[in-house]
Amino acid sequence: MKTWKRLMFMFFILVFCCNNLFAQTAIQEPSQSPYEIYRLFRTTNMWTFIKLNTITGKIWQVQYGNSNDKRFSTVLNSMDLAVGKEHTPGRFTLYPTQNMWTFILVDQIDGDMWQIQWGLDKKDRLVLPID
């Protein structure tokens, strides 16, 4: 019986140590105020972020890299989605989906939503209203 208890104790110590090791290697998200004009959202692609204007809903795909031809910013949505509405910081935010290429853009004041898709090729980028 003592051997069984000792084995279980060692197992829990091993799990605890491994869990702490992996938790320390996770990339920490910087704190961002939801009421700032611009916010960066991480994608699961290590080279790509999504930049959002939280007042207008305008969105850019931002890519960084080791060489000049890999670094760029391109427009995903150039339309002011708050036309005729209150222009207030924090109006829009993004929610990631399980599809690495897709986010949901939400107008947090009136509930309107859009499917935002980023991509490496222009043909793969789109903005679609969700009715």
Can you give the pLDDT of all 131 residues of the chain as single tens digits? 567 666 666 666 666 655 555 555 555 666 778 789 999 999 999 999 999 999 999 999 999 988 887 899 999 999 999 999 999 999 999 999 999 999 999 999 999 999 999 998 999 999 999 98
Q: Write the pLDDT tens digit of every residue in 55-69.
A: 999 999 999 988 887
What is the pLDDT, as a whole number, of residue 79?
Answer: 96
**Dihedral angle of Cα 110, 111, 114, 118, to the nearest 10 degrees:** 100
Query: Rounded to whole angstroms, how far apart are CA atoms 94 and 51?
Result: 10
* CB count in 10 Å sphere of residue 101: 17
What is the pLDDT, as a whole number, of residue 18?
Answer: 55
Angle, CA of 40, 42 and 47, to the nearest 5°? 105
